[in-house]
Amino acid sequence: MKHVKRTAIASVINLALFGLPAAHAADTEALERRIRELEARLEKLDHTATQADKATTASPEVEKLRIW
């Protein structure tokens, strides 16, 4: 029985020290990919908004509405 307890404790320690950081690294990589994807989408939206602003600034009617 004493041997079983030692093996169980050793297994838990091994998992805690070596198994969990690998899982954490996979989660971190997935989050980093998601962040890069969201940043790319935000940049695309900013670019689209900039293009829309350039297109609307030429119209005097739009400028009058912006004052209000």
Number of domains in the chain: 1
Query: Would residue 46 be called left, alpha or beta, if left means φ above 0 and alpha means ψ between -120 and 50 degrees?
Result: alpha
Query: Angle at CA 44, nearest 5°, toward 51 and 53?
Result: 20
Indicate yes or no: pTM above 0.75: no
As a whole number, mean pLDDT of residues 9-22 equals 72
1 compared with 19, residue with greater pLDDT = 19
pLDDT per position as a tens digit, 19-32:
666 666 677 888 88
Domain carrying residue 33 = 2-67
**pLDDT (mean) for 21-47:** 82
- pLDDT score of 6 more than 60: yes
